[in-house]
């Protein structure tokens, strides 16, 4: 199996869950924040993946990657931080109690 094929379920779930939050209040603000987070994570991934690969901590078999690289890091490595930047906030918004709480926490059930 190749790394691009492994990414398909991660990207599909990220898109589906993010689209599921479209109707929620603050969608545009969340997407902007996710975009900024993704940019930071991509920069960190570019730096640290290249350092770790250059140090010989791990390698990627050429037959399992697309061949496109950013420095020494295969392009596929950059999909995970992008998915995380969009999926984590989307899941958080969809958690039970978020809509009723108005984006904050409630004191329900506390003594």
What string of pLDDT tens digits covers the 111 residues of the chain? 789 999 999 999 999 999 999 999 989 999 999 999 999 999 999 999 999 999 999 998 889 998 899 999 999 999 999 999 999 999 999 988 755 455 555 544 444
Element (H, E) at 69: strand 69-70
Say how far apart CA 104 and CA 60 lie, in whole Å: 43
Element (H, E) at 74: strand 73-74
SS3 of 67, please? coil
User: Is residue 74 packed enough to be buried (19+ CB in 10 Å), middle (13-18) or exposed (0-12)?
Assistant: buried
Tell me what pLDDT residue 21 has.
Answer: 93
């Amino acid at each position: 199996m190749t790394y691009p094929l492994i990414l398909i379920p991660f990207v599909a779930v990220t898109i589906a869950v993010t689209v599921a939050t479209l109707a929620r209040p603050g969608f545009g603000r969340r997407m902007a924040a996710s975009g900024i987070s993704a940019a930071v994570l991509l920069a960190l991934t570019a730096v640290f993946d290249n350092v770790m690969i250059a140090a010989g901590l791990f390698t990627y078999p050429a037959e399992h990657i697309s061949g496109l690289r950013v420095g020494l890091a295969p392009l596929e490595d950059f999909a995970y931080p992008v998915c995380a930047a969009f999926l984590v906030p989307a899941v958080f918004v969809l958690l039970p109690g978020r809509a009723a709480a108005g984006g904050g926490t409630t004191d329900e059930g506390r003594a």
